[in-house]
Each structure stands twice: as C-alpha cells, then as structure tokens.
Structure 1
Amino acid sequence: MLTELLRKSIHLSGLILPVIYFFLDKSTMLIFVGILTGIAIAVELVKWFSPSFGGFFLQIFAPMLRSHERRGAMTGATYYIISAFLCILLFRKTLAVVCIFFMVLGDLAAALVGKKWGRTKLLGTKSLEGSAACFVVCSSMALI
C-alpha cells in the first residue's frame, strides 16, 4: 500500500497540467504537452532498445513501477501524458481540463480502493470496487 501511495502522490502531480492549461492558450499547451509526450515516448523507446539505459531506468524508478512496467511495459506516466495530449488536442479547454482531472483523480480513487478492498475482479486485475470508486469520484466532480 505504501508503494501505491508513492505512485499516486506522484500521479497527483499530473494535476499540474490542467492548472497550467488554465493560463495558456490551446496552441501553446499543445506544444508544451506535445514536447513532454515526445520525451516520454523517446524514453520508452530507448528503455526498450538499450539494455543499459533500461537498467539505469529501473535503478531509479523501480520502487514506483508496477511489476509489468518493470518487465518492459509502457509506464503509466507515458499513458498519462499521451492521454492528456489527446484530451487537449481533441476537446475544448474546459472539457479537456475536466477530462484530465477525471483521469488523475478517478484513477487515484480506483487504485487505492481497488488495492485495499477490491475483491470482485472484472478485467484482469481491475476490481468492481475500484471501478465503483472511480465512478463515484468522477460523478461527484461532474456535479460540481
């Protein structure tokens, strides 16, 4: 659970993107997040094709990675930045900001509840309890 809290505290830093977007126009934000997306994808590619860099990456980030990420799967951070980029690209500012908040806070709730109380498995390692937590958090935010 401590590892999950560490992961999610870092994940919460993802809320900085919608806050930054509040102050920037769409074009500037797309350039900024596009650069971050390019860096994240480049790191993933170098990690996969360079065993020495992959080992270095693991030495630094292993405590925060899930087991499948340690075995070479793309990290959640890369999925996040790609998703944020697509939200900004495809939606108007207010909707993109809400979507990114849903993604960060809904995932946080799902992971914490699912890890602690998740018993009813849905897809692979996903639980009904975690999914319900995500739904409740996102629905609550939508009502605000």
Structure 2
Amino acid sequence: MASRSFMNEILRKGIHFTSILIVLVYFFLGKQATVTLLISYLVIILTIEHFRLDRGFKLPVVHFLLRKKEISSLGSHVYFTLGALVAVSVFSEHVAYAALLMTTFGDASAALVGKRIGRIRIFGNGKSLEGVIAEFIVDLAIGLFFLSSWPVAILMAVVATLVETYFVKIDDNLVIPVFSGFFVELFFFLSPYI
C-alpha cells in the first residue's frame, strides 16, 4: 500500500498537469492569449494566497496539499504559474512547450520515483539517484519530441535535471522552466558563431 506522503505527492504533482492545458492553449490560441490567461490566473491565485497568508483563510483541498514550508509562504502553484508565464512570454514556442512539460513530468518522475524506490541519496539534499535518473530520462524524451536536435534536447534535459537536483532553496517550478529554456535559447543564439 502506498504511503500517505507518496499519495499526497501524486495529488500535488497531478495539479501541475495543468501544464498540458497551457501547452494546448498556446498551440490553439497563440502566445498572446496564453500570456493573458496566465496573468489572469496569477492575479487570482495571488489574491487567494493573500487571503490564505494574511487573513488565515483556508481552502480545505489547497491547505491539505501544501508542504510544511508552504503553510506560511507562497505555494508552489504560484511559482509554477510564474515559470510558465516566463517560458511562454520569453522563449520560442517549442522551447516553451518543452520547458513547461519538463517542469511537470520531469519533476514529477523525480519525486515519485525518488519517494517510491529511491535508495541512493546524493548531494546531501535528500534527492535520490534513482529520482535524478528518472527525471533525466523523462526530460530527454520531452526534449527529443519538441526540439530540433539531439544536442539541444540533451542540453535542455541536463539543465532541467541539474536545476531540479541542486536548487533546493528556490522553488523548482520557477527555476526549471526559466533555466532550461534560457540555456536552449542561448545555445540557439550562439550556435551560428560556434
């Protein structure tokens, strides 16, 4: 039987599957509509966070899914929305798709595999080697699907995996899409000169 923390992690990661909706909106309605919807959603969730943090208002489902560190600070959904907004606003379409889906599926695979079968702890931050490998494989598959070449997909998967593994003080829902997308766009920009 799955532990409560494992089931809670599945529910938390399930919420992030909204990235699929973001990708679909971007694909069918375009960048401007997606940015507008993300900004609108961000205003709504920041308002809810204000009432939760400053006024003590509790939404039962939301409160149940919060991690201990999020009870008195912004929830990861805020950082996820900010990361999605940056990815859609700044990066090219396919890089944004890959960044969003790596944030969701790569991070989810790392967390779920790490919690379920992770045995080898690395880097002293609680991350497991098994989770890191699972994330890299998923990120690489996403990169290969959306990006133009193996080297670009590998670069993006490596950056996303390293960011998720090492950035423990900054919410990975913000830094994975921003850093992975940035390095791929930088590669595209510099590649004519290399």
TM category, shorter = 0.7 to 0.9
Partner of 1:92: 92
Partner of 1:27: 32
1:7-46 equivalences under 5 Å are 7-46=12-51
Partner of 2:164: none
Matched, 1:5 2:6: no
- Equivalent position amino acid for 1:126 in 2: K
User: Take 2:47 and 2:127, find their aligned partners in 1: how far apart are those partners?
Assistant: 28
Q: Compute the TM-score of the two structures, normalised by the length of structure 2.
A: 0.65
Runs of 5+ in structure 2 lacking a partner? 1-5, 146-194
User: Take 2:35 and 2:124, find their aligned partners in 1: how far apart are those partners?
Assistant: 33
Q: How many residues align?
A: 139
User: Take 1:50 and 1:138, find their aligned partners in 2: how far apart are those partners?
Assistant: 39
Runs of 5+ in structure 1 lacking a partner? none
User: Take 1:5 and 1:121, find their aligned partners in 2: how far apart are those partners?
Assistant: 23
Alpha-carbon spacing, 1:87–1:61, altered in 2? closer, same or farther (3 Å): same
Alpha-carbon spacing, 1:40–1:106, altered in 2? closer, same or farther (3 Å): same
> Does the 8 A contact of 1:122 with 1:128 survive in 2?
no
User: Take 2:52 and 2:73, find their aligned partners in 1: how far apart are those partners?
Assistant: 10
What is the CA distance between 1:19 and its match in structure 2? 1.1
Alpha-carbon spacing, 1:47–1:123, altered in 2? closer, same or farther (3 Å): farther
1:44-97 residue CA offsets vs partner (Å, 9 max, x unmatched): 23322112x1xx23x33233222222x313212111111000101111222111
Greater relative CO, 1 or 2 (CA 8 Å, sep 6+)? 1
User: Take 2:107 and 2:137, find their aligned partners in 1: how far apart are those partners?
Assistant: 11
User: Take 1:121 and 1:90, find their aligned partners in 2: how far apart are those partners?
Assistant: 33
Percent identity over the alignment?
A: 29
Partner of 2:141: 140
User: Take 1:61 and 1:31, find their aligned partners in 2: how far apart are those partners?
Assistant: 24
Partner of 2:106: 106
The root-mean-square deviation of aligned C-alpha atoms, in Å, is 1.8
Q: Compute the TM-score of the two structures, normalised by the length of structure 1.
A: 0.84
Partner of 2:162: none
Counterpart of 1:124 in 2: which secondary structure? coil
